[in-house]
Structure 1
Amino acid sequence: MPRITFTRRQALLGTAALSATVAMPSLSRAQSRPLITHGIMSGDVAHDGAVIWSRADREAKMLVEWATTESMTDARAVPALAVGTPTDYTGKLALTGLPSDQDIFYRVTMSDLTDGTLSEPMTGTFRTAPMGNRDISFVWSGDTAGQGWGIDEDRGGMTTYATMNSHAPDFFLHSGDTVYADGPLQEEVALDDGSIWKNIVTPAKMKVAETLDEFRGQHLYNYMDKNVQAFNASVPMISQWDDHEVTNNWYPNEMLTADDRYTEKSLQVLSARSARAFHEMMPTRQVLSEPMRVYRRVSYGPLLDIFVIDMRTYRGDNTANTEAEGTPFLGAEQLAWLKREMVNSTATWKIIAADMPIGMMVRDGDNMENSANGDGPVLGREKDVAAILSFIKTAEITNTVWLTADVHYTAAHHYSPDRAVFQEFEPFWEFVSGPLHAGTFGPSEYDNTFGPEVRFAKHPEDGQANLPPSDGLQFFGKVDIAANTGVMTVRLMDSADVELWSVELEPKISV
């Protein structure tokens, strides 16, 4: 396990860092040496590399070393990266030339730009993707710090992260709503059992996020949690976003004219600031020509490719979603990219990592938020979903599985043309998980366009909504792929590490 410390001193510095970036230099100079304020993490692991993230309390050089032994006796340094005010003292370094299918231990140290004083180092670990077959295990979920439920240290903080960490997965797929930029926290929330939920509250979490620093502060808040820090140091992340990274149910052309919480009304402006903060605060591999792009393919050996898609950035306005000619959802470029990348994939299993489910109806007032719009033929945003599903069939792409979150409960859905209005597709599975640490809701209504059948679901009973994490209805999913058979086992789990439901999926072998 990685050695990682999280002291009260660091937590207080992290809290102060969120109030204003300009306060950082005077605060940090009071310290005798630099500090790593919010831990370390790795992400987008490949067979020969990974992205390493960290944050200092001042202008510094980010020093990263890696080794194949925990003792770090064979440590190799990579060129230092200067971190400062342009990125809120965060840094991302891409490690390259790593051996495949190897445990990698890395050490991050911050060096003061003025006098070279070094911080205490932090160490983490990850395993590079294999070039050949080996067993693969990973976890996925979404929804962190939503609906008013932040870090309550008396209740152990964000404990689902500790549960996932106990499985030592190869990586973690965060399916979106990585933060709740539109969800201010109160210091205390009275619960139905008479107890009090006590949130740690930082300046950034006292109002909706509008400025770049406030969006940054949403991520930094989550990284204050000791469970999240330990998890981030142990498990590499593949992250995507959905709506709450900006504001609930947003679309690019939206104006928040009726929301008095916002002085900045333009979602074009707010989403641009949020996207910058997202990539600064996440260990994502960014495309130089499109630095804010979220969709990407992450390959994890011959058994698995993950296609991370973005159902938020390229969408049209939220409407009743019944346009016969269709309405933008994924966007033409992303749709073409997804088709091209799936055709080129030679992996046994192709995971489509979606930030929203297909057949569950998600409403935005009188309008629809995702692709589902009610029973009937393909209309509105369903056109893009139908295009993907029919292409998979026509191109004879096998073994596709959809993973998602968003709806704040866990479910297993099987889709089949035998039950569907639209029938030009092969049967497939969609698995839903979450929340990781947010309010629990459900169940959703379903749309028969693509023929979903609910094989399992767990959600609040009797119309209850926004149940706190302390009620135990916090969920994640676990996927295991066996090297010798190629069988994928999907398990739906809760925060107490109880297996709620599972299924074994036999791969179809292409001829």
Structure 2
Amino acid sequence: MSDFRSNRLDMSRRFALKAFGGSAIAGLSLGPFSHAIAAPVFRTYPFQLGVASGEPEPDGFVIWTRLAPEPFEIGYGMPSAAVEVEWQVGADERMQEVVAWGTALARPELGHSVHVEVGGLQPARPYWYRFVAGRERSAIGRSKTAPALGQPTEQMRFAIAGCQNYEQGYYTAHRHLAREEPDFVFCYGDYIYEGRGNRFRNRRDGPVETVRQHFGDEIYSLDDYRRRYAQYKMDVDLQAAHAAAPWFMTWDDHEIDNNWAANLDQDDTPPVAFDLRRQMAMQAYYENMPLRPSALPVGPAMQLYRQARFGDLLDLNLLDTRQYRTNQPCGDRWVENCEEIESRDAEMLGRRQESWLAEKLRGTSSRWQVLAQQVMMMDLDRTPGEGHNQNTDSWAGYRTPRERILQQIRDAGLKSAIILTGDEHQNYAGQVHLDGKRPLAEPIANEFVSTSISSGGDGEDQRERTKGIQEENPASLKWHNSQRGYVLCDVSPTQWVTEFKTLNRVTERGGTIGTRKRMMVEQSVPSSLNET
């Protein structure tokens, strides 16, 4: 053995002894790597939070894990030192043909999370991956690369999911989603909920016991947020969905605080104090998501809007409707008449993100242009009868920037714009008009709103109140449903088919899945939205 190799092994042993203590070292881990490393022994399985992949591109994707042998303890069972983690990517699900491998450092500064940007892979095909720490191996995850830019692409299938309040239901929908093995998953947000643990949940017909309870009080500190993510990510159904396909992550409000807007919260906390909470929440979000290192937050700011392109078929424009918006008008209430919603100074995306989006829309050559975002853009009158009642936390409270975005789509001559949304805890299919009060004959875009994974409990097929809203807005809202589930989108060069998958129950385990509705849009014919 060369002096260099011998010295390197001695250094590895000394590092591991310092990091874990003398009793932690059992020997050397050998594998398809260029050198051997000291192998720590964990008293508890370190991959409690599972594995995930995200951000697929034609030549690779991000793979993620986070070492947390004791997720709820202070320090989550890890030392205050960096730990080396091996990673492998295979061409087959049994990992018999390893095509990429390496090591990464899980650092305590980032909760011992690992974000590996894998490159050099082939486009438009599945791969499998896993991690090794000491003697421990993670579960094997499945990912998939995107088609090459401009490559003729005949079909893609992806899923939409979000709003997964831990206390209000089981994640049965995630288990079913995992079996779909979609090309990717778009998570529109509300991955966690920030409130304290509650045994009861109040409803109109009286209190009901929560399905399962949040650990601890409302979350504020970095450790609080880490524990809350740990509680969610330890759910095996959610782990299965992450391990089945790459995810594109965005956030809505509950990853930080209900209905937050820029540096303002709903409790009139001084912005300088709320910025501290945002900073800790953003760090925990990054630590627990399969995001690129370029998304690492800087203070209370995080770069989340971005574009992914899939062959010549679709552009996925992922938007951030929280970080740059002005405060909600009209006291953040559902209101009938309020001049503030017409403010020319209102911002939803912020001018920089809005300009970025306009540039992407003008420069597109794909058949479909997707705005993947959080809050409803359809301008719905939420109260049947006289007046026009609006949800001011949605785009309805930001009429000026909404008008600018829709004009950008129209001025770019785009006839195949699709808006994907969450937040409402209901399924909606509808059309977006430049002036919702006086709809034009042809809509600007079609919007599909995905229901929640669990938020809201079991739900029902159709709420009576929402039936009245649909009758009040016949030009915009074409269909609705109030059960839990997820959405599948099947996209071809000529058609977009949205399939709404719903569960009969989530407050008990074992809910059954079914297709409640399929809606189809023809490419370049935005008025063609119909049931299929």
TM over 0.5, yes or no? Answer: yes
Q: Which amino acid aligns with 1:138?
A: F
Post-superposition offset of 1:293: 0.9
Q: Name the structure 1 match of 2:241.
A: 231
Structure-2 separation of matches of 1:65 and 1:289: 23
CA 1:433–1:383 in 2, change beyond 3 Å: closer, same or farther?
A: same
Q: Name the structure 2 match of 1:334.
A: 353
Post-superposition offset of 1:135: 1.8
Q: How does 1:200-279 map to 2 (within 5 A)?
A: 201=214, 205-254=215-264, 257=267, 266-279=273-286
Q: Which amino acid aligns with 1:175?
A: Y
1:476 pairs with 2:486: yes
Q: Secondary structure at the match of 1:108?
A: strand
Q: Name the structure 1 match of 2:392.
A: 368
Q: Name the structure 2 match of 1:142.
A: 162
Post-superposition offset of 1:188: 6.6
Q: Name the structure 1 match of 2:501.
A: 493
- Aligned residue among 259, 281, 291 for 2:288: 281
Structure-2 separation of matches of 1:184 and 1:70: 40
Structure 1-normalised TM-score?
A: 0.78
- Give deviations 1:438-489, integer Å, cap 9, x for gaps: 11577569799x9952111112xxxxxxxxxxxxx2121110013xx53111
Q: Which amino acid aligns with 1:209?
A: I
Structure-2 separation of matches of 1:76 and 1:214: 38
CA 1:211–1:362 in 2, change beyond 3 Å: closer, same or farther?
A: farther
Q: Name the structure 2 match of 1:21.
A: none
Post-superposition offset of 1:257: 4.8
Structure-2 separation of matches of 1:160 and 1:474: 8
Structure-1 separation of matches of 2:105 and 2:418: 40
Q: How many residues align?
A: 444
Structure-1 separation of matches of 2:402 and 2:434: 14
Structure-2 separation of matches of 1:45 and 1:256: 35
Q: Name the structure 2 match of 1:44.
A: 55
CA 1:50–1:32 in 2, change beyond 3 Å: closer, same or farther?
A: same
What RMSD over aligned residues (CA atoms) do the two structures have, in Å? Answer: 3.6
- Aligned residue among 57, 68, 75 for 2:98: 75
CA 1:361–1:247 in 2, change beyond 3 Å: closer, same or farther?
A: farther
Checking the alignment, whether the CA contact within 8 Å between 1:404 and 1:433 is kept in structure 2 is yes
Q: Which amino acid aligns with 1:145?
A: N
1:310 pairs with 2:326: no
5+ residue gaps, structure 1: 1-23, 111-116, 151-156, 374-380, 460-472
Q: Name the structure 1 match of 2:14.
A: none
Structure-2 separation of matches of 1:250 and 1:195: 28
CA 1:72–1:336 in 2, change beyond 3 Å: closer, same or farther?
A: same
Structure-2 separation of matches of 1:475 and 1:361: 25
Post-superposition offset of 1:270: 1.7
Post-superposition offset of 1:492: 1.4
- Aligned residue among 165, 168, 172 for 2:178: 165
Q: Secondary structure at the match of 1:306?
A: strand
Post-superposition offset of 1:401: 0.4
- Aligned residue among 504, 518, 524 for 1:502: 518
Post-superposition offset of 1:60: 2.2
1:344 pairs with 2:363: yes
- Give deviations 1:291-312, integer Å, cap 9, x for gaps: 6111111122221211110110
Post-superposition offset of 1:30: 8.3
Post-superposition offset of 1:393: 1.0
5+ residue gaps, structure 2: 1-18, 25-39, 69-77, 331-339, 384-388, 504-511, 526-532
Q: Which amino acid aligns with 2:393?
A: E
Post-superposition offset of 1:90: 1.1
- Aligned residue among 132, 136, 142 for 1:125: 142
- Give deviations 1:140-175, integer Å, cap 9, x for gaps: 0220125x326xxxxxx4101012122221111111
- Give deviations 1:184-233, integer Å, cap 9, x for gaps: 223576998999554154xxx32111011212222222111111111111
Q: Name the structure 2 match of 1:177.
A: 190
Structure-1 separation of matches of 2:382 and 2:67: 40
CA 1:413–1:266 in 2, change beyond 3 Å: closer, same or farther?
A: farther
Checking the alignment, whether the CA contact within 8 Å between 1:243 and 1:250 is kept in structure 2 is yes
Q: Which amino acid aligns with 2:394?
A: N
1:435 pairs with 2:442: no
Q: Secondary structure at the match of 2:128?
A: strand
Q: Which amino acid aligns with 1:85?
A: P
Structure-2 separation of matches of 1:158 and 1:419: 35
Structure-2 separation of matches of 1:302 and 1:340: 18
- Give deviations 1:263-300, integer Å, cap 9, x for gaps: 99833222222222212211123537976111111122
- Aligned residue among 399, 412, 418 for 2:429: 412
Structure-2 separation of matches of 1:303 and 1:366: 35
Post-superposition offset of 1:344: 2.1
CA 1:216–1:447 in 2, change beyond 3 Å: closer, same or farther?
A: farther
Q: Which has the larger radius of gyration?
A: 2
Post-superposition offset of 1:350: 1.3
Post-superposition offset of 1:130: 1.6
Checking the alignment, whether the CA contact within 8 Å between 1:421 and 1:451 is kept in structure 2 is no
CA 1:383–1:81 in 2, change beyond 3 Å: closer, same or farther?
A: same
CA 1:329–1:275 in 2, change beyond 3 Å: closer, same or farther?
A: same
Q: Which amino acid aligns with 1:343?
A: R
Runs of 4+ in structure 1 over 4 Å off: 187-198, 255-259, 288-291, 360-363, 417-420, 422-426, 440-448
Post-superposition offset of 1:124: 1.0
Structure-2 separation of matches of 1:84 and 1:34: 18
Structure-1 separation of matches of 2:341 and 2:304: 27
Structure-2 separation of matches of 1:210 and 1:362: 33
Q: Which amino acid aligns with 1:184?
A: R
